[in-house]
Copies of this chain bind each other. A is one copy, B any other.
Amino acid sequence: MNPVVVSASLILYLIAICQGSGTDIALDAKATLLHRIDSLNLLIYTCLLTLTVLTIWVFKHRRVSWLHETGLAVIYGLIVGAIIRYAGSTNQVTYIDAHPDADTKYNLSVPPDIVRFHFPDKIQISSGEAPVPNKTYAYSFRGEIVNVEQNEIDLKATFDPEIFFNIILPPIIFHAGYCLKRKYFFRNLGAILTFAMVGTALSALVIGSLMYGCVQLMPASLAASFTFLDTLYFGALISPTDPLTVLAIFSQLKVDVNLYAMIFGESVLNDAVALVLSGAIQNYEKRYSVDGGFEITAFLAAIGDFIGIFSLSLLVGALIGCLTALMTKFTHVRDWPLLESALFVLTSYGAFLIAEVFELTGVVAVLFCGICQAHYTYNNLSADSRNRTKQLFELLNFLAENFIFTYIGVSMFTFPKHHFDPWFIIAGFLTSMLGRAVNIYPLSFLLNLGRKPPIPMNFQHMLFFSGLRGAMSFALAIRNTVSEARQAMLTTTSLIVIATVVLQGGAATHALAYLRIPTGQGQNDENEALPYRDVRSPADISFDLRNLDSNQSPNSDRASDTPHGNGDGGGEKARLARLWGAVDSKLLKPLLTHARPPLTETLPAFLRPLGRILTTTRQYTQSENSLRRTDSDSDLCIDEPQPVPTTIDPQLPYNIRNGYGNV
């Protein structure tokens, strides 16, 4: 328990001696130093991101395809992390042991928020001649110190893990929801939901069980530190996929849109599923079990937790999205695009915060808020706001994504709570591959029993190959690093993320070629290749399910499930989808947007007066045609957050239509 005297503190000490003006100045200098260190940390990441951006440009310019930008960000991060670790001077923290007053009245079993620390009190400080005056300082609670000997808390170039959940992930997830190609997403909804919901749970269970088995075979010290719930938690955090690299390549090579939609949709949803799942496992752990045992009622309660939190979060996000749609529909805020964009951003972030306040999952809420904003609100926005929100979230997503991958690289060296355990790492790699296989192949087999067209074998291989791990796995792993087991999980997760992003990401082009997946398809070709081509012309590319009933007579029942001529396998699922499509096109779209047919035509007769109130003049007056074009999601959806060269001459003056014409 020797106090650590280090460089920075020494300088402060010298300053304090030289100027002789006491502790206050030294404290100010210390605060300044800390601020500079914070700024330096941020500057390191800013420079790394700048470097990444410039290198991406070089790669794109020279058409390098064996390394993607995320892989690049990770590699730069690793290099800089190693430099910081081995070259930088240490700036260790100073600490002291303290005990409460013996006569203190305090009757909570939790430690206090603030410790009022009397310094220097009884201890002798040899600071030059001037005696250090006795003062009281406030110290705020930070956490438990598990291993008192291991006291080098060195937090170089690291951030609070909660930053990932509250600042970095929301824009990424919102962007994914906002830019989801809803048309293809809903066409492949069955497969996507199966892979994302059932598949992720299955994968978590398989990885958790196998890891538990592996751990039991290892040295006793390791085996004792992992409970079954620990390994199950590892299974949950390593299951979500983040196939950014693969999708970027898909988009460049114009791979089959259905395959694209399945991989993208699954990766968006399984992030949400894994987050809620890991939360449920932690709740189970906290509430019912201290020895890692298994109780059936507790297990059922955890499943209830999972379903409840997921659906309530979904509801919160969807409601906020619909509320924004109503606000933008019934006010003329559209006339002031800046106000409108601000409203859009604020309500979307509000969805995240509301979910967090009610102990739901903000990330899930923000995902479904994004989907609703794209599906309803986007249609009410002014052209300027559409452009602005799309570009804003695209940029935020790009920066956030590259930041997180850079951070994964840097933290591999600088994060103090890594625990390298070769057996656990090897087992982690093998089981995470197995988990992905268990997710894809058996479920594809089951899906193919009822699916037309079936998922071909080479698509299945590609789905398996796209199982890169990314931001969500890392964020979940770094959230809790109290125990050695958790630290081993973080190390393994970091390595799996780095390996899959760099190696699998780099090999994606070759995998596509090896699996003979056709590339270079155009939008129209695909439209014609789809089973829906007989329903409507290729020009009419509105959301499919929604329009199934839109040409019917206005007085048909809104729960109509009249069978149509498309061959989507029929059965309960298709009926539900058609029901939803009818509700959406007859009730929600006319209510929340300026879409036709208006509510006055679709509502049953006794609700017509209400319908009249909720219908805008624009809904009456605009033609069916102009609606169709606005309504399409083809002008909204970005397939991937990748920049693609434009051929616009940048020297041309670009007068932006935002109304700033005056003065």
Contact = CB atoms under 8 A, between A and B. Distances in A.
Contact of A652 (B96, B349, B383, B651): B383
A312 to B, nearest CB: 15
B137 A50 contact: no
Contacts of A56: 336, 339
B39 A338 contact: no
Contacts of A47: 350
Given A25-B286, A100-B120, A30 B334 contact: no
A260 B98 contact: no
A387 B652 CA distance: 13
A539 interface: no
A384 interface: yes
Given A98-B117, A254-B663, A399 B345 contact: yes
Contact of A144 (B5, B138, B342, B638): B138
A390 B337 CA distance: 13
A21 B566 CA distance: 58
A104 interface: yes
A138 B148 contact: no
Interface residues of A, number: 169
Contacts of A39: 353, 356-357, 362
Q: Which residue of A16, A252, A337, A385 has the most chain B CB atoms within 10 A of its CB atom?
A: A337
A660 interface: yes
Interface in A5-42: 5, 9, 12-13, 16, 19, 21-23, 25-28, 30, 32, 35-36, 39-40, 42
A219 interface: no
Contacts of A25: 286
A638 B663 CA distance: 9
Interface stretch (A125-133, A298-306, A429-437, A557-565): A125-133
Nearest to A128: B109
Contact of A102 (B122, B145, B381): B122
Contact of A104 (B3, B127, B646, B647): B3
A137 B127 contact: no
A333 B384 contact: no
A63 interface: no
A143 B138 contact: yes
A622 B639 contact: no
A395 interface: yes
A225 interface: no
B651 A594 contact: yes
B651 A630 contact: yes
Contacts of A50: 343, 346-347, 350
A121 B98 CA distance: 10
B327 A54 contact: yes
A94 B474 CA distance: 34
Given A28-B286, A663-B251, A57 B648 contact: no
Given A39-B362, A99-B122, A102-B123, 20 more contacts: A25-B286, A36-B356, A53-B346, A54-B343, A95-B112, A96-B114, A100-B120, A106-B123, A107-B127, A108-B125, A114-B142, A116-B148, A135-B144, A136-B145, A139-B141, A337-B643, A383-B648, A384-B391, A523-B663, A645-B659
